[in-house]
Amino acid sequence: MTVDVSNSPNLILTCDVDFFDLATEELFAAAADAEIVATVDDGVMAIYVPNGFVDLAERWRKAPPIFVRHICPVNVIAPLRASRDDLYAIRDAAKPLADVLDPDLPFSVQTRIFGELPYKPFDINQIVSEAMQQMSAAPLDVKLPQQILSVVVIPALETHQAARTTHHVLLGLSLTPLNISDWAGGMRRFAREDGQVSRAEFKLLEALEIFKLDLPRNGVALDLGASPGGWTRVLRQHGQYVTAIDPGDLDPRVASDKNVRHKRMTAEDYLRYEPDTFDVIVNDMRMDSRDSARLMVAYANQLYPKGLAIMTLKLPEQKRKPAIEHSLSILQKGYEIIGVRQLFHNRSEITVAMRKR
């Protein structure tokens, strides 16, 4: 049995819980008449927007939000009873969506479960994927899907309570670009590699992917505040010759790389001594966002024309929005801003990608 979704949530929105206020501000700026139907979990909300999922998704596809990480539609709601039989109920609830699944485009099923239940996302993905393939002949591609069937299992919605219903499954089908992120909930995870220096590497990897940035072949890159060398290592993996600026030590595995030049000085000192010119400048320093922005503008002169810059802006606990606006206004003096996002691997910071004007 499915439930009529009129006046019910028609999308799921996900953000970092610490930026809940700024994410909801983005929501209401884009859809003033939106309604938060339920808070599913920290940073996960069931939303009703009168104009529907596609209208809002198209707005954000053209101008991505900073703090909303992921959205997915809700086309079907069905009750569950917290037993293994739920798998068949979810499969049956998904079957009507096979009629609108494009058979010429690869798809994947992405599942999130909130609450303790006797099955895992993999179990749902498997049974639903098999049913969709049989009914639509669409090819399954979990790595590069062009359409996504989102499955979200949540505690029962109060407005849809029924006898023995403990949970609901919310299902929706969308083209991948409309979800903001290709990953369920925007949770982009990278496998830990042998030789990895720091968790910070994931921030740069995610930035390169999310902003669709290609580093120049055999380029020269500058890593400001490089220690212990995580971002330098990622730049080397992408074929860059790196100058690493930091008075502290680099990890021996990075320091021993003959294509890494370590300058034991601060970024401010290096700028005073007529530094080289670079294709790429990155900056993940722990510095007030406005001071860091000013430093990056000063370094814009050390970029080749159309050179690329990637940085994190560390945000204060209070008055974060004014700090962001001020920092971006400073950066615009030297750069064209490509994108600004609070990435999955960010913490109390945002990542900015730019090109030299």
Give the percent of the chain with pLDDT over 70: 97
**Domain 11-186 identical in fold to domain 201-356:** no
Q: Is the pLDDT of residue 159 over 70?
A: no
Q: Domain 11-186 - what CATH class?
A: alpha beta
Q: Is the pLDDT of residue 3 over 60?
A: no
Return the closest-CA partner of residue 292 out of 317, 323, 319: 323
Return the closest-CA partner of residue 245 out of 302, 196, 291: 302
Q: Determine the pLDDT at residue 274.
A: 77
Catalytic position from the list 203, 212, 258, 314? 314
Q: Domain 201-356 - what CATH class?
A: alpha beta
Please confirm, yes or no, whether 314 is among the known catalytic residues.
Answer: yes
Residue at 287: amino acid letter: M
Alpha carbons 308 and 73: distance in angstroms, whole number: 35
Q: Is the pLDDT of residue 122 over 70?
A: yes
Q: Is the pLDDT of residue 304 over 80?
A: yes
pLDDT tens track for 32-78:
999 999 999 999 999 999 999 999 999 999 999 999 999 999 999 99
pLDDT mean across residues, the chain: 95
Q: Determine the pLDDT at residue 161.
A: 64
Q: Is 187 strand, coil or helix?
A: coil
Taking residues 109-130, report their average pLDDT. 97
Domain parsing of the chain, residue ranges: 11-186, 201-356
pLDDT tens track for 189-206:
998 888 899 999 999 999
Q: Is the pLDDT of residue 178 over 60?
A: yes
Taking residues 265-272, report their average pLDDT. 96
Taking residues 309-322, report their average pLDDT. 96
| Both structure tokens of 34 | 């939106």
Taking residues 249-268, report their average pLDDT. 97
Alpha carbons 10 and 18: distance in angstroms, whole number: 24
CB-based burial label for 157 (10 Å; 0-12, 13-18, 19+): buried
Alpha carbons 217 and 256: distance in angstroms, whole number: 22
What DSSP string runs through 83-147? STTHHHHHHHHHGGGGGGS-TTS-EEEEEEE-S--SS-HHHHHHHHHHHHHHHH-PPB-SSS-SE
Q: Is the pLDDT of residue 86 over 90?
A: yes
Q: Determine the pLDDT at residue 194.
A: 84
Angle (nearest 5°) at CA 11 between 10 and 15: 155
Q: Is the pLDDT of residue 244 over 70?
A: yes
Give the percent of the chain with pLDDT over 90: 92
pTM of the entire predicted model: 0.93
Q: Is 313 strand, coil or helix?
A: strand
Indicate left, alpha or beta for 82 from its phi (over 0: left) and psi (-120 to 50: alpha): left
Q: Determine the pLDDT at residue 152.
A: 98
